[in-house]
Amino acid sequence: MVAGARPDRSDGGVVPPLWISDTYRWASPDEKPDYDYSRTVNANRTLLIEALAELEGAAGGVVTGSGQSAALLALLRLPAGARVIAPHDCYGGTYRLLDGLQKQGKLVAHFVDQGDAAAVDAAMAEQVDLLWIETPSNPLMRVVDIVALAARAKAAGALTVADNTLPTPLRQRPLELGCDLVMHSTTKALNGHSDLFGGALLAKDAALAEELAWWSNAAGLNASAFDASQILRGLRTLPLRVDRQEETAMRLAAWLAQQPAVERVHYPGLADYSGHALAVRQQRGPGFLMSFELRDAGAASRFLGGLRLVTLASSLGGFATLICQPSTMTHRGMPPEAQAAAGIRPDLLRLSVGLEAAEDLQADFERGFAALA
C-alpha cells in the first residue's frame, strides 16, 4: 500500500503541487469558497489528512505543526478542571504538557501504571474526561491492552486517545480497538527523514473531527503546506522503511539480549518480553524502537562515547539509527521521583533503528561495549 499516491485531482499530476497561497479570492461576500484562508484550510493539509485517515480508519482529523501541538489539541476541547489519566511512563513531552497544565489549574492529571488494572480502576473511581494511552510506551516499550482500557473509559463516560507514533498505522490501528482519537508525531516515522516537525490528531467520529478542526483553526495549530506535502511524501515509502527497520531491530534486540554488559532489553519482538503476547495480539509487528539497560549503572557515557556510526540524538523513526539516554534527554522534564516511578534509570538507553545494515550497527555497538572494558 502506498498512501496518498493517487494522481492529483486538479491536473492529474502524480505528485501534487505545493499550494503556498495564504489567501484565496471570493466570488462575492456571500459565496465562501472551499479554500478561503490557509490557516483554516489548505489543499496540501487536506491530502495528508485524507491519507492518514485512510491508514487509521478515521472519519477525519487535523494535521498540526508538531506532535506536541497535536497533543495540546486533544486537551483544548476539555472543560476546565478536566481529569486526565495518562501512563506513568509516557513520553517526556506528554508528561511536561500535562504537568504544566495541571500546575496552572487547567486540568487534573493522574499518571498511572496502565498495566495495573486495579490502579486504572482506582483512578477511574471519580469522573474522568480523557484516558491517554501510549502503547508501546516510550522509552520502556510497555504494552497495554487497548481494547480493555478503551472499554473502561467508555463505561466511565470518557474519551480515549492513543498515541500511535511508535507503531504507526501499519503496525497498530487503535480506532479499530475502541479508541476515539489517535495521535501522531508525524515528525517521526511517518515523515521518516528527520527534517521537519509535524503532528496529527484523527477521530473515529466525524462530528469530533469537525470539533478538532475548529479548535486547531482557532488556536493556529495547523501545519504548513510545505510540511504537509513532505510528510505525504514520507508516507509513500513508509512500508519499505518500517519493514527494513523492524527486521534490523529484531536482529539487534536478540543480539543485545546476549551481551554480558546488558541487564535487559525492552522490545515487544522478543518472545520472553513481558508484553510479547499482547503485542502479538494487537500489533502487526514489534516496530523499530527498543531500549536496553546496562549492568553497570555508570557505564552509559562510556558506552555512548565508543559509538561511531550510531548518532546520539533524541528523536526516533528516521532513516538514521539514533540512541539517547532518556533520563537526561527525552525525559529530563520529568522530576527524579517520576522517572524512578516509571523505571527510567540513568543506565537505560533508547535505540531507534534506522536503515543501516544490521552488521554495521552491530559492529558499532561492539565498539561501545569495548569502551566499557
d(CA 60, CA 100): 29
> Order of strands across the sheet with 159-163?
60-64, 199-203, 181-184, 159-163, 130-134, 82-87, 107-112
Three-class HEC string of 212-231: HHHHHHHHCCECCHHHHHHH
Cβ distance 46 to 34 under 8 Å?
A: no
Residue 152 phi, psi dihedral angles, 5° rounding: -60, -45
- Cell for 219? 488556536
DSSP state at residue 294:
E
Residue tagged active-site, from 24, 35, 39, 96: 39
Q: Is 347 a catalytic residue?
A: no
Answer whether the bond into residue 139 is a cis peptide, omega within 30°: yes
Q: Is 188 a catalytic residue?
A: yes
Residue tagged active-site, from 145, 163, 227, 347: 163
- Cell for 287? 516496530
Question: What is the SS3 assignment for 39?
Answer: coil
Q: Is 24 a catalytic residue?
A: no
- Tell me, rounded to whole angstroms, the distance of Cα 18 from its chain centroid: 26
Reported for 179-184, long-range contacts at CB under 8 A and 24+ positions apart, including other chains, are 179/133, 179/146, 179/150, 179/204, 180/150, 180/204, 180/205, 180/208, 181/74, 181/208, 182/56, 182/58, 183/67, 183/70, 183/71, 183/74, 184/52, 184/67, 184/70
- Tell me, rounded to whole angstroms, the distance of Cα 58 from its chain centroid: 17
Residue tagged active-site, from 188, 241, 244, 350: 188
Residue tagged active-site, from 45, 83, 89, 91: 91
d(CA 178, CA 35): 33
> Order of strands across the sheet with 348-352?
262-266, 289-294, 348-352, 322-324, 311-312
Cβ distance 239 to 190 under 8 Å?
A: no
Q: Is 95 a catalytic residue?
A: no
Q: Which residues are catalytic?
A: 39, 91, 163, 188
